[in-house]
Amino acid sequence: MNAPLSDEAIREQIFAIVARQSGVDPAALRPEATLKDLGVASLDAIELIFDLEEHFDITFPDDRADFDTDTMQQLVDAVHSALAARPDGTEAAA
Amino acid sequence: MNPARRRIAITGMGAISAYGEGAGPLWRGMRDGVSAIRPLRHPFASQVRVKVAAQVPEGADAAKQLPESVLSLLDRSSRFALLAAGEAIAQAGLDFAADGLAGRTAVVIGTGVGGEGTHDEQARRLYAENATRLHPLTIVRMMPNAPAAQISMAHGLRGPAFGVVGACASSNHALAQAALLIRAGMADVAIAGGTESCLSFSSLRAWEAMRVLSDDTCRPFSRNRRGLVLGEGAGVFVLEAMEHAQARGAAPLAELAGVGMSADAGDIAAPDPAGASAAMTQAMADAGLAAGEIDYVNAHGTGTRANDRSETQAIHRAFGTHARRLLVSSTKSMHGHALGASGALELVAVLGALVEGVVPPTLNLDEADPECDLDYVPDIARECAVRAALSNSFAFGGLNAVLALKRA
């Protein structure tokens, strides 16, 4: 994960991870769809968040409870801000 | 309810909790609305995101009160259970040596995970320190039936003895099994309750990953609730066939009148109000109590978004219009969520309410939530001559266990 990723690559990877978890064809994923819409709720949503954290080596802030209502676009934004908060990986332990 | 069925008296209680040793300090803390949630005390505290917990204070040192000969056999969870059992048995004033009572006394102790501290410590030796041998007592310390076994050994109790696992409903499941053993005539007395001590580094990390922990405090039923606060401790009770208690002139604290158990058979974590209300309804039916006779419900009330909303719906479903007249409180806002021990700590709250006519409050209910629309007894205890009460426990896995208690 050392080489900087293009926005497009990040987006594609997130969509691929969500597609795997939800069983929905990546081509059919809309930015405005929520995880709940995609049938990813409760612990499945928490597991998806874990998959994203592991994949991008990031840590999402702990102050949000309902990932189920996140849209695809919000997830992409959240990954971007978590990547930005991780200049050298030290944020992960904070 | 079968009128010929044996009734169950509770004739002793003991506890160790974030308030220290004793059911008395736990009850008075809850009644007085004093929170025992503190900054997390842990060697890895600076590394984990969780900042608070309701831990048994360092001063409450079980090692000082238990014989040295058994200490090396005991995980922290068994130490807690032994201390609480000793207190309950002393209060009940039973003589197990008389009339073969030891052989007619059961021990049923619930725990969520058993000897987690032992497991974590030995795993650390193995994986972090590359140790080639583990402590020879690792197995007997960590097995989830150890607390029940240790109590049976300490008091020479030879009736049915076993552990019960039901995650956060373990205590209530254990108390229900114990009551059913007495009803079935398999025992006259049962030492029953639950114990938990699982605030290891790995367990804290695992809870963190599930994203259900609050970072500051526990706010059951409040709109700004952010999750649960982990706790630890043990509560152990003496259950006794009513005729046995009466024959020896023992004064019951209350009657364990009914039990209700159900499974959601749905999601592994997300609660279903239908399952919870089924358990409440069954507990009342088993006790022969109408909804209108219940004055108090000690809620599961974890302070997570999902539980508190779902439990409120379940109470509406089980109680109908009487729901609005009930006093409902979550004492987890004070003693934290002691997981497999939580139902036992909360039974102390219910017994206190029945005996003293005071319902302990829910703390930190600082923002009304339209989805949580019952009387949760905010901040300050309420005087109420409680005739009967329910104690709710709902576990991950969708496993529900509810106790119905009546004033003695």
Distances (CA, A) of B187 to A9, B123, B212: 67, 39, 40
For residue B241, report the phi and psi dihedrals to the nearest 5 degrees. -55, 130
Distance from C-alpha of B136 to C-alpha of B145, rounded to nearest angstrom? 17
Q: State the pLDDT at residue B120.
A: 97
| Among A16, A19, A33, residue whose Cα is nearest residue A68 | A33
CA distance B335 to B22: 13
Query: Which of B47, B215, B269 lies at the smallest CB-CB distance from A42?
Result: B269
What is the DSSP annotation of B332-396?
HHHH-B-GGGHHHHHHHHHHHHHHHSEE--B----S-BTTB-S---BSS-EE----EEEEEEEET
Tell which residue, B225, B77, B251, has the closest CA to residue B151: B77
CA B191 – CA B161 distance, rounded (Å): 9
Per the model's pLDDT, the better-predicted residue between B233 and A90 turns out to be B233
Side chain identity, residue A29: L
Using left for φ > 0, alpha for ψ between -120 and 50, and beta otherwise, residue B131 falls in beta
Asked whether the beta carbons of B142 and B119 are under 8 A apart, the reply is yes
CA distance B113 to chain A (A): 20
Phi, psi of A56 (to 5 degrees): -95, 0
Name A34's bridge partners. A71
One-character DSSP codes across B281-316? HHHHHHHT--GGG--EEE----S-HHHHHHHHHHHH
Contact A49 B215 (CB under 8 A): no
CA distance B175 to B181: 10
Question: Length of chain A in residues, anyone?
Answer: 94
**CA B204 from centre of chain:** 20
Mean of all residue pLDDT scores within chain B: 97
Distances (CA, A) of B150 to B147, B153, B235: 5, 5, 15
Minimal Cα–Cα distance from B368 to chain A, Å? 18
Q: Which residue of A has its CA nearest to B224?
A: A65
For residue A43, give how far its alpha carbon lies from the nearest alpha carbon of chain B (Å): 7
Hey, CA dihedral for B330, B336, B340, B344, is it positive or negative? negative
Q: What is the largest CA-CA distance in chain A?
A: 36
Query: Nearest residue on chain A to B226, judged by CA atoms?
Result: A65
For residue B274, give the H/E element and its range.
helix B273-287
Active-site position among B168, B198, B218, B372: B168
Residues A15-20, mean pLDDT to the nearest whole number: 93
pLDDT at B281: 98
Q: How far apart are CA B273 and CA B317, in angstroms?
A: 8
Probe site for chain B from A35, A40, A42 (most B CB atoms < 10 A) = A42
Q: What is the pLDDT of residues B147-193, one digit of tens each?
A: 999 999 999 999 999 999 999 999 999 999 999 999 999 999 999 99
CA distance B396 to A42: 12
Residue B42 is a catalytic residue: no
Task: Examine the residue annotation and report whether B218 is marked as an active-site residue of this protein.
Answer: no
Rg (CA), chain A: 13
pTM of the model: 0.94
* B231–chain A nearest CA distance, Å: 20
* Closest by Cβ to A42, choosing from B209, B226, B267: B267
Residue type, B14: G
**Contact criterion met (CB < 8 Å) for A46 and B270:** no
Respond yes or no on whether ipTM tops 0.85. no
Please indicate whether, in this complex, the C-beta atoms of A41 and B209 are within 8 angstroms of each other.
no
DSSP state of B159: S
Q: Which of A80-89, B42-51, B70-79, B381-390 has the lowest mean pLDDT?
A: A80-89
Q: How far apart are CA B182 and CA B201, in angstroms?
A: 39
For A47-92, how does the pLDDT look when each residue is reduced to its tens digit (9 = 90+)? 999 999 999 999 888 766 568 888 999 999 999 999 998 765 444 4
CB < 8 Å to A50, chain B: 209
pLDDT at B4: 80
pLDDT above 50: residue A93: no
Asked if residues B123 and B201 have their Cβ atoms less than 8 Å apart, the reply is: no
A-facing residues of B in 144-183 (CB < 8 A) are none
Is residue B259's pLDDT more than 50?
A: yes
Q: Which pLDDT band, with edges at 50, 70 and 90, does A28 fall under?
A: confident
> B296-298 and B388-395: which strand pairing?
parallel
Residue A12 carries which DSSP code? H
B226 interaction partners in chain A (CB closer than 8 Å): 63, 65
Residues in A closer than 8 angstroms to B210, CB to CB, are 43, 46
A90 touches chain B (CB under 8 A): no
